Amino acid sequence: MSNQRPIGVFDSGVGGLTVAREIMRQMPDERIVYFGDTARVPYGSKSRVTIIRFVRQIVRFLETKKVKAIAIACNTASSYALDTIEAEVDLPIIGVVKPGARTAIRTTVNRRIGVIGTDATINSGMYPQYIHSLAPDIEVFGKACPLFCPLVEEGMLHDFVTEEIAHRYLTELKGRDIDTLILGCTHYPLIRSLIGKCMGPGVQLVNPAYETAVSLRDMLREKDLLAAPLPAGSEPHHEFYVSDGAEKFENFANSILPYDIRKTQVVDIEGYSMEKING
Ligand code: DGL
């Protein structure tokens, strides 16, 4: 049995493209419907109640696109809203926090892991909580890096300002003797080389996107939802939606994806409400 319906993937903006890119790489037959909430980015400074409301609207939107599963390609939304949404929606849903934490546990040798993310992700305590549930002996050090997301959204990936801010944020973690650092925001893999340079060669960087795509594939296989192989030479048609600034998003996405986006559509996301999910 196969299932040709698309996978819904979303984030507050361009960060989730790092997860979409990995899904495209690992599952070249799958179609993706991507939503970037570019009108309301960043999520990291917002409250749990607000994030849950945003996520409900996006999930409702993705349901109208007849997705077969959803990947929350955002650590902030995964930390604050995954449990709530899972209980409300009858679709397989995966977040990025657990897959990222599992990779870090496998990676660390000295049992000292750092996590960088938004204020919301770090304050939620989701990473240490999940890591400790699997490996209570591991020490976890969190550091919020709230300016990274807007800098990435502005495309300042190789800018000296971003480098300076990275140094300020990461100096504290460098003193913690960690050997593994989780890039706990899907925007951060886009400045991976800069973060790596700051942390030095003794620290392994973990990008949860890889493991998230692996877990997603396992989940689809288990539920008999994997797409059938495409004919040789053809590629799936992915769809991209944003809540604002379609052209800026599209330019950015085309610079990092192995897929040429032809059209990004703007969605009035506030028009999608939870009542409709259950209605
Ligand atoms: N990329 C998101 C994350 O993984 C959100 C960043 C933001 O909007 O603040 O947390």
Domain ranges in the chain are 7-95+210-271, 97-208
What is the predicted pLDDT for the residue at 262?
86
C-alpha of residue 81 to centroid of ligand 1, in Å: 13
Ligand 1 site-directed mutation target among 46, 79, 185, most atoms within 8 Å of CB: 185
Give the chain's count of helices (H) and strands (E).
12, 10
What is the predicted pLDDT for the residue at 71?
98
Ligand 1 site-directed mutation target among 58, 79, 118, most atoms within 8 Å of CB: 118
Residues in contact with 75: Cβ distance below 8 Å, sequence separation at least 6, in sequence order? 95, 96, 97, 100, 117, 118, 121, 184, 185, 186, 208
Give me the CATH code for the 97-208 domain, please: 3.40.50.1860
Q: Which atom number of ligand 1 is nearest to the Cα of residue 121?
A: 10
Residue 175 has pLDDT above 90, yes or no: yes
What is the predicted pLDDT for the residue at 279?
41
C-alpha of residue 11 to centroid of ligand 1, in Å: 7
What is the predicted pLDDT for the residue at 276?
47
Can you tell me the mean pLDDT for 20-29? 96
Topology match between the domains 7-95+210-271 and 97-208 = yes
C-alpha of residue 48 to centroid of ligand 1, in Å: 13
pLDDT band at 233 (very low <50, low <70, confident <90, very high): confident
C-alpha of residue 73 to centroid of ligand 1, in Å: 9
The candidate with the shortest Cα–Cα distance to 244, out of 67, 58, 41, 90, is 41
CA 89/CA 43 separation, integer angstroms: 22
Can you tell me the mean pLDDT for 104-123? 98
What is the predicted pLDDT for the residue at 1?
60
Q: Is 73 in the pocket of ligand 1 (CB under 6 A)?
A: no
145 is catalytic: no
Q: State the catalytic residue, choosing from 145, 149, 185, 198.
A: 185
Amino acid, single-letter form, for residue 141: F
What is the predicted pLDDT for the residue at 274?
61
Residue 268 has pLDDT above 50, yes or no: yes
CA 244/CA 253 separation, integer angstroms: 14
C-alpha of residue 186 to centroid of ligand 1, in Å: 6
Average pLDDT, the chain: 95
Can you tell me the mean pLDDT for 40-48? 97
Low-confidence winner among 6-10, 184-188, 202-206, 274-278 (lowest mean pLDDT): 274-278
Q: Is 11 in the pocket of ligand 1 (CB under 6 A)?
A: yes
Query: What does pTM read for this prediction?
Result: 0.95
pLDDT digits (tens, 9 = 90+) for 72-84: 999 999 999 999 9
Q: Which atom number of ligand 1 is nearest to the Cα of residue 74?
A: 4
CA 22/CA 27 separation, integer angstroms: 8
Its CATH class, for the domain covering 7-95+210-271, is alpha beta
Nearest CA to ligand 1 atom 2: 74
Residue 275 has pLDDT above 60, yes or no: no
